[in-house]
């Protein structure tokens, strides 16, 4: 990948700048930041998910900075204008494993001259990184806010697990055997075909992203999530097709079937086309494989033994959860939302589901997100 200049200021809110930080765990990391002019401010680290960028935080960076924080949002490994990662499907997959993503965050904090952050705030897959960061280094990550993706705790040691009464269901075979055959999106994202399916899709990357963001937002009226009873094919198949896909459709075909009308696009105040073009411009250049490597590590259980070292550990720093009321993310793994609150986080300050927001909560309802974050941050840092 060719190094580019930082994201141009014309697409950023006033008070936000883009720049690079060199030598972060092998990366040249691109970041957005605000509140940088005043020295000595406590640091907030904002971690995006898929298919997003540091730019996904543009609507909350300034309110957080105005509250007295130095706010930093990087393009994470595999994304945007951050370089130094391997974009090859057959390349260095282990560099995308969870603890190395936490190492990226640690390296960035150190490169910025800080010993710790007041809080790490993550959305979607970025919430997984934030949760693991708070679990393994609570001395550095002093508080954590998770958005859209609950954290149910580290994997158990298989040596201590009780013997199964019956063989576990092969969820993929069971999904494929349904009357309307289905497949799980994370395992689709782990295939070699997923990146070209999206990067070279017939409708083009811009229209693909428009459909994807719409389909998972509160603008798609069928997003009415509810708890699922179990990790079974019949239960999972109750979720929308962006999570449990039709077996013979690509993701590009899946979202094309729910493409918003021209009038709906024009009415989308939370993601107008002049903002969506920032995403589509970056993904046309990079493709999607960098972000898809994260899914491959999860579905392929890449170095799971590293994570099992922390079996039984909890997140013991102040924690907060925020998601959209129309977001299936908190419900996609049955029981995780409840376990996060009852067991995985010992200082849970609340789990909030915001009306009028789907999966892209900090973009769809940024004022409400900031209104929940700021009292939490004041309590956690007071």
Residues forming the active site: 124, 359
CB 12 within 8 A of CB 56: no
Tracing tokens 């239960």 back to the chain, one arrives at: 235
Specify burial of residue 51 (Cβ count, 10 A radius: 0-12, 13-18, 19+).
Answer: buried
In DSSP terms, which residues pair with 27 in a beta bridge? Answer: 24
Q: Please name which of 106, 97, 144 lies closest in space to residue 314, comparing C-alpha atoms.
A: 144
Cβ atoms of 241 and 343 within 8 Å: the answer is no
Count Cβ atoms within 10 A of the Cβ of residue 246 and give its class: 0-12 exposed, 13-18 middle, 19 or more buried.
middle
Answer whether 115's CB lies under 8 Å from 349's CB: no
Cβ count within 10 A of residue 351: 18
Rg (CA), the chain: 20
Q: Tokens for 379?
A: 């309590």
- Give the list of residues 6+ apart from residue 108 with CB closer than 8 angstroms, or none: 21, 24, 29, 31, 45, 72, 74
Torsion angles phi and psi, residue 319, rounded to 5: -135, 155
Burial (CB < 10 A; 0-12, 13-18, 19+), residue 306, is: middle
Residue whose entry in the numeric block shows the structure tokens 């540091």: 54
Q: Are 317 and 376 in contact (CB under 8 A)?
A: no
Q: Which residues contact 69 (CB under 8 A, 6 or more apart)?
A: 35, 41, 42, 43, 44, 118, 377
Q: What are the structure tokens assigned to 246, written together? A: 């039709």
Beta bridge partners of 33: 17, 72
Closest to 18 measured CA to CA, from 76, 81, 67: 81
């Amino acid at each position: 990948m060719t190094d580019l200049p930082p994201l141009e200021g014309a697409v950023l809110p006033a008070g936000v700048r883009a720049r690079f930080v060199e030598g972060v765990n092998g990366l040249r990391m691109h970041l957005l930041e605000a509140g940088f002019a005043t020295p000595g401010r406590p640091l907030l680290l904002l971690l995006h998910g898929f298919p997003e960028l540091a730019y996904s935080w543009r609507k909350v960076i300034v309110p957080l900075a105005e509250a007295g924080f130095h706010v930093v949002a990087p393009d994470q490994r595999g994304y945007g204008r951050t370089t130094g990662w391997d974009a090859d499907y057959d390349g260095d997959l282990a560099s995308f494993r969870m603890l190395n993503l936490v190492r990226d965050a640690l390296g960035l904090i150190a490169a910025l001259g800080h010993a710790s952050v007041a809080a790490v705030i993550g959305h979607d897959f970025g919430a997984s990184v934030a949760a693991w960061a708070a679990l393994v280094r609570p001395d550095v990550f002093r508080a954590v806010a998770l958005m859209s993706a609950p954290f149910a705790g580290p994997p158990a040691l298989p040596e201590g697990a009780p013997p199964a009464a019956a063989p576990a269901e092969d969820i993929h075979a069971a999904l494929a055997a349904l009357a309307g055959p289905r497949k799980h999106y994370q395992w689709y994202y782990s295939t070699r075909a997923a990146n070209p399916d999206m990067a070279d899709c017939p409708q083009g990357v811009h229209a693909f992203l428009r459909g994807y963001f719409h389909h998972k937002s509160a603008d798609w009226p069928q997003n009415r999530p509810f708890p699922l009873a179990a990790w079974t094919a019949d239960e999972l198949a109750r979720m929308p097709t962006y999570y449990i896909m039709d077996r013979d459709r690509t993701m590009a075909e899946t979202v094309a079937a729910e493409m918003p009308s021209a009038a709906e696009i024009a009415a989308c105040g939370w993601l107008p086309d002049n903002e969506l073009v920032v995403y589509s411009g970056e993904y046309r250049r990079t493709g999607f494989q960098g972000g898809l490597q994260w899914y491959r590590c999860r579905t392929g259980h890449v170095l799971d033994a590293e994570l099992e070292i922390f079996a039984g550990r909890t997140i013991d720093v102040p924690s907060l959860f925020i998601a959209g009321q129309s977001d299936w993310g908190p419900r996609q793994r049955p029981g995780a939302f409840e376990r996060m609150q009852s067991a995985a986080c010992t200082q849970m300050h609340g789990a909030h589901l915001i009306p009028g927001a789907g999966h892209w909560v900090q973009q769809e309802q940024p004022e409400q997100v900031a209104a929940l974050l700021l009292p939490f941050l004041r309590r956690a840092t007071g």
